[in-house]
Structure 1
Amino acid sequence: MAAASVTAAPTPVHIEKRGVILDKLKDAFAKALTSLQCGACVSALVVAKDVSYLNRNWVLDAANSLCSSFKIMDQDVCKGLVYTQGPVLIESAMRAKLLSGDGKMICFQILGACPAPAITSGTLTFPKPKPTNITVKAASGNRVDVLHISDWHVDDQYVVGSNAACNKPLCCRKYADSPLVPGRAASSWGDYNCDAPVKLGQDMLKFVPTVANPSFSILTGDIPPHNVWAETREMVMAEETAAYSVMAAGISNVYPAVGNHEAAPANLMPTPNTGGDYKWLYSHLADEWARWLPADAVNSVRNYGAYTASPAPGFRIISLNTNFCYTMNFHLYGALKDYDPFGELKWFISQLQAAEDAGERVWVIGHVSPSQTDCIQNWSALYYQVVQRYSPHVIAEQFFGHSHYDEFAISYAPGAKNAQNAILTSWIAPSVTPYTDLNPGFRLYKVDTGNWNVYDSNTYVADLSKAATWDATGATPDWHLEYSAREAYGAHVPIAADQPLSPAWWHNVTSAFESNDAAFQKYWTYRGKSANRMAACTTNTSCPKEMICDMRAGKSTDTCSQPSFGLQKREDGTEYEDGPVALDVTGLRSAFGPAKKPWNRKLCGLPSI
């Protein structure tokens, strides 16, 4: 009989070596996080890469230990995130040329620890030059309604009466350490600390037909809830199937886009140059979306999630997988010189050129907007070149989500940022989920079927502060029109009834915000969907100026809200406590305490929105 194989116990020398190395790793990580110095951040990456050649698990163990000792998250959340997200970041660091610029790029895009590197993605070549005398199709006078839903994040594990003020990134669930008596009991309709319960999403879809009969709908990504430290492939597939089934029962003709939460683990979508296979996700989405999309579009989705489809003659929608520019897609850092993963932008250009040749109008939809700091700058710069080439005569509008806020951004032709040069609007939709501190909402656009431009944008919300009253009285959510963009901002920038809400008009609206604080404060209220739970954005801070700058930033290099991150050491010097963070890059609710710039709090990262 063959002897059973026996694994030798680690020698004392090996154990001692591991302990010393883990201490050095934790020191390097701590210095990077607490100092936010570029050199310290790059050094931490280099140390982690060197140790990974010995044992990758040591790097993960050090990160997990640091996460717990910093009290960044509960131990189970730390462990779940570190051991699902960490291996991809380690693999990318090992592929990257950390001392030749890649390290600084990673430290800038994730932590904001380094200055923004120069754009190196170059200049695109197009099949044909832009026509010199461009004309935009005339309006037909026929207006239709289009529904825009984003960031669904309905939680099928939502438990009524559970703790809505918990110690996890996502509350209103039963956890092993949940208290017997909740600090605040979750209502049946939702809570500002939680994702949406199933019946809130269903009720919203039931309300839509009472105010409109949408010609079609766009869904700009993010279906699963925010328990990203515990999500599995099987879980997200089941959640996506359930959500699409609910939507199919309530609305028709849906054109979806891929969100960062559709992945498992969240955010991590590999490319051909990074290794890894996500055919399971794209095949699953193709099967689910087949109820709405034509066969050729379904086949296209199976490649990497992008497709094009035509809801009406002379008009097409191009759905992009913008997760290939998402800063929290750690796969991307292993191939930073791959400026166009999967050749998606090349394909995008070919579709736009075909549309130009055919005289078609185009809508672009995606999840992460190229205008947001969450989009890697090299990719965003290339995308912006495409926008400048094919706008405004081909691309009529573009629609995104991801931020959970009600926002917009403007793209410009080369030259000054003024009304004359404004060529395209990015409509960034409010989320269905109230996560966090937002009312649930959706948009209805009034669209002309000749030029396919937006003539009004109506945002509907439900006031979640009344959730306990709804439960007590047996009422349902008070879905109502929060505002009409034409009416709200037309009061400050008048617009003729036969004119669309054009990029030039939106630029003039931002000018009104500069000169009229009351107009800006109106926007600020609507940005948070009238929940009135966001930090103030007052003229005695840099907030209004930064927000207006961001509205005029069609690409991430132009934003004034750059990534930033920080921790603060306790006075006793023994461990680290919650400290200031300018942009909540991790997406954790108050993970690092009050923000230096609380108006910039992000709701999507790790645990990721």
Structure 2
Amino acid sequence: PGVPREFTANDAVLSAVSDEIARKLADEFVKYMDTGVESASLRQITTQLANSHSKRDLFIKEIHELGAVDQFFVCTTCRAAINVIARTFRDEDGELNGPHNKGYVKSFVLGFCEKLNIQTEEVCGELFESHWPYVEYIIMNTVIDSREFCGMFMQFSFCNVGTHPDYEWTLDVDNSIPAATAPKTDIPAKGSNDLKILHLTDIHHDPLYEPGALAECDEPMCCQRHKDVAQGTSKAAGFWGDYRDCDLPWQTVDNAFTHIKETHKIDYIYQTGDVIDHMVWATSDEKNKEVYEKVTNKLYEVFPGIPVYPTIGNHEPHPLNMFAPDYVPEHVSSKEFYEHLYEIWSKYLPADTKSTILKGGYYTTLVKPGFRIVALNDNDCYTDNWWLFFNGTDMKTQLMWLHDVLLTAEKANENVHILAHIPSGDGTCWNVWSREYNRLIARFRNTISGIFNGHTHKDEMLVHYSNGHAIGISWNGGALTTFSYKNPNYRIYQVEQSSYQVVDHETWIFNLTEANLAGESVKPNWVKEYTFSEEFTNDLSPGSIDAYLDVMASNPDLVRKWWRFKMTSADPTLAKGCDKGCLLHHMCRIPTSVNNQRERCEELTKKLSDAIDNESGSSSSPTDPTQPGPSDPTGPTTESTTPDDDGDGAVSITALSFTTMIAVYVAANNVL
């Protein structure tokens, strides 16, 4: 059969169709490699697949946020790639075996990249070169089964066919206190002595950003070159940044830090990762180090004496997303990366954090008596981290360390803030890891007083549950970068000092359209976009927020307001609006802290769906009235973001380049 036009069939049927296309594609491609002759059948299959997918969406969305057609494309090509490479790489007589295997694999990969219209040759080729040493090592040493790989990597149901025993584990969790029997509702009142904590995340500084450069290009990230082509057109990048697929220029980073210093009295700074830009096909150790040091040193310079507590984003290493266990050979190790981070972080972190930072990029520190911070490297759960497919049991180590730290903190009557990059409910966070992490949050609900994330580039939150009871909140700081279709933003938390719970927070933005129209001589006009207690509920306890979700689900205008703030009131996003499906999606995100546990999501979206249907004339009213800045006369007229795009724009490797995806799929131990 060909690529389906509709996706109404059940998962078993879709999986079977995908399997059949993948097998046929693999068979024909192996023949093509042997003979150099492209058959009519191969031409037909590759043409259908190449024409079926959304080329840009594959690069700016996470896997779980792709539409049905794109998900089918990714799953099918994954299965085909494993089939081809498993036959030709591991086999002693295989075409991709032997001392020249890199050249063979690269040729194969670039051929797929071209035939399936994945990306430009430059992007595919550079990604292959940077990932090959790691991919080759994982290929030859992994324990995972080929069929299981695609299903775990793409956690949507029709592609999921089973789990290797090493990838289905549970933690041994202390059970000395009973499970939750009620929501967590205890929260103190605000006070004059409350802490003010700045949350900066996803800065994504682009050192090559050039005002006036082409903002609509063929690559996954733009605004760096072709100024001669863009000059005088609507495709030219703005001075302070651009809503399109571009990261942040230095002048905006500098302005943001200075504005924050002049506006707020800050006690602590949480920096939850992703300082490096999205030009992922052209990173290097040297470039990443230079950018990370420049941004971090500026932060230290502008806020002298204010403690900074950082975590690692998936973009920090070269190549991105790669976080190796501590026992692999040096040429594929993350050792040098962690050493560099500790060298920078040690300005504010005590010496006793060194051992775990060097082991895996995580640490804990006692800020003051009664208040502890735990900073996780939760890229362990990221399904774009190829080392996840090397050995699944490795990912237990950090979680067991977290368990032990929390148990010790509980006995010492400490309150703990957990900092991490990726929210546990994100579709690219491995469900097993996320499930076990949430078990820890449930067990230590009385010790954990706050959780802080980034990664999604959205101003949002997640509610954590245990036995149906709300027991925790993960707060997401949005992003300083504009990638993609966002205004720059940061958050300020008000934290009470007896329980260290968040009692309120406010988000600050500037309107990018307005700033670029004013030009480089006028500084951006930063404004407080909203205060949570004024716009939603003044009780920020997990139980109260969970109860407020029912209020939101009964009143679509509240969800529209939530969506507007979540998208940082960005002009092109507001202009596109948020229809019923979009509103349901964003409602579902809030109560989902494990991606495949959606009972509360289903309950709330059913209620919201009924409320939208009952609205008078709701279909013509996609957003509530807003007061955005002036409309952008030179803004994008095509390829604007979809309202429900919930990736970090992280350009996942699979989506990012089928090149490297194909290469790692060699991880197959069995032919599909």
TM-score (norm 2): 0.74
- Residues of 2 paired with 1:177 and 1:376: CA distance? 44
- Residues of 2 paired with 1:107 and 1:289: CA distance? 32
**Amino acid in structure 1 at the alignment position of 2:271:** L
CA positional deviation for 1:302: 1.7
Corresponding residue for residue 573 of structure 1: none
Corresponding residue for residue 344 of structure 1: 398
- Residues of 2 paired with 1:409 and 1:152: CA distance? 21
| Residue segments in structure 2 that go unaligned for 5+ positions in a row | 1-30, 53-68, 603-635, 657-672
Corresponding residue for residue 606 of structure 1: 651
Corresponding residue for residue 335 of structure 2: 279
Query: Are 1:92 and 1:332, in contact at CA under 8 Å, matched by a contact in 2?
Result: no
- Residues of 2 paired with 1:522 and 1:382: CA distance? 33
SS at match of 1:59: helix
Corresponding residue for residue 457 of structure 2: 404
Please, which moves more after superposition, 292-301 or 42-51? 42-51
Query: Are 1:228 and 1:266, in contact at CA under 8 Å, matched by a contact in 2?
Result: yes
Within 5 A, what are the aligned runs for 1:63-142? 63-85=109-131, 88-89=134-135, 91-92=137-138, 95-96=141-142, 99=145, 102-109=148-155, 114-115=159-160, 117=162, 121-130=168-177, 141=191, 142=193
Name which of 490, 497, 508 aligns with 1:449: 497
Corresponding residue for residue 298 of structure 1: 354
Task: Report whether the alignment pairs 1:266 with 2:320.
Answer: yes
SS at match of 1:558: coil
Q: Deviations over 1:407-427 (max 9, x none)?
A: 11000112x3xxxx1100011
SS at match of 1:340: helix
Give the 3 Å change call, closer, same or farther, for CA 178–170 of structure 1 in structure 2.
farther
Query: Are 1:282 and 1:301, in contact at CA under 8 Å, matched by a contact in 2?
Result: yes
Task: Report whether the alignment pairs 1:550 with 2:589.
Answer: yes
How many matched pairs?
547
Query: Are 2:326 and 2:360, in contact at CA under 8 Å, matched by a contact in 1?
Result: no
Corresponding residue for residue 613 of structure 2: none
Corresponding residue for residue 17 of structure 1: 34
**Amino acid in structure 1 at the alignment position of 2:346:** A
Corresponding residue for residue 570 of structure 1: none
| Residue segments in structure 1 that go unaligned for 5+ positions in a row | 1-13, 563-589
- Residues of 2 paired with 1:186 and 1:61: CA distance? 35
Give the 3 Å change call, closer, same or farther, for CA 607–374 of structure 1 in structure 2.
closer
Give the 3 Å change call, closer, same or farther, for CA 520–182 of structure 1 in structure 2.
same
**Amino acid in structure 1 at the alignment position of 2:409:** A
Return the structure number with greater relative CO, CA threshold 8 A, min gap 6: 2
Query: Are 2:113 and 2:124, in contact at CA under 8 Å, matched by a contact in 1?
Result: yes
Name which of 395, 401, 409 aligns with 2:448: 395
Corresponding residue for residue 478 of structure 1: 525
CA positional deviation for 1:172: 1.6
- Residues of 1 paired with 2:49 and 2:411: CA distance? 52
TM-score (norm 1): 0.81
CA positional deviation for 1:283: 0.5
- Residues of 2 paired with 1:487 and 1:301: CA distance? 39
CA positional deviation for 1:295: 1.2
SS at match of 2:644: helix
Give the 3 Å change call, closer, same or farther, for CA 74–19 of structure 1 in structure 2.
same
Which structure carries more helix by proportion?
2
Query: Are 1:222 and 1:261, in contact at CA under 8 Å, matched by a contact in 2?
Result: yes
Within 5 A, what are the aligned runs for 1:154-553? 154-174=205-225, 184-193=235-244, 194-251=246-303, 252-272=306-326, 276-335=332-391, 337-338=392-393, 340=395, 343-391=397-445, 393-414=446-467, 416=468, 421-471=469-519, 474-490=521-537, 495=538, 500-534=539-573, 535-539=576-580, 541=581, 543-553=582-592
Q: Deviations over 1:378-409 (max 9, x none)?
A: 11111111111101x10011000001011110
Give the 3 Å change call, closer, same or farther, for CA 175–307 of structure 1 in structure 2.
farther
Query: Are 2:278 and 2:651, in contact at CA under 8 Å, matched by a contact in 1?
Result: no
**Amino acid in structure 2 at the alignment position of 1:396:** S
Corresponding residue for residue 5 of structure 1: none
Please, which moves more after superposition, 172-181 or 453-462? 172-181
Query: Are 2:424 and 2:434, in contact at CA under 8 Å, matched by a contact in 1?
Result: yes
CA positional deviation for 1:129: 1.8
Give the alignment's Cα RMSD to 1 decimal: 3.4
Query: Are 2:214 and 2:227, in contact at CA under 8 Å, matched by a contact in 1?
Result: no
- Residues of 1 paired with 2:411 and 2:474: CA distance? 24
CA positional deviation for 1:544: 2.4
**Amino acid in structure 1 at the alignment position of 2:447:** V
Give the 3 Å change call, closer, same or farther, for CA 549–137 of structure 1 in structure 2.
closer
CA positional deviation for 1:512: 2.0
Q: Deviations over 1:162-193 (max 9, x none)?
A: 22222222112126996677653323211112
Corresponding residue for residue 42 of structure 1: 79
Counting aligned pairs with the same residue, the percent is 26
Task: Report whether the alignment pairs 1:152 with 2:203.
Answer: yes
Give the 3 Å change call, closer, same or farther, for CA 333–524 of structure 1 in structure 2.
same
- Residues of 2 paired with 1:224 and 1:258: CA distance? 11
SS at match of 1:291: coil
SS at match of 2:519: helix
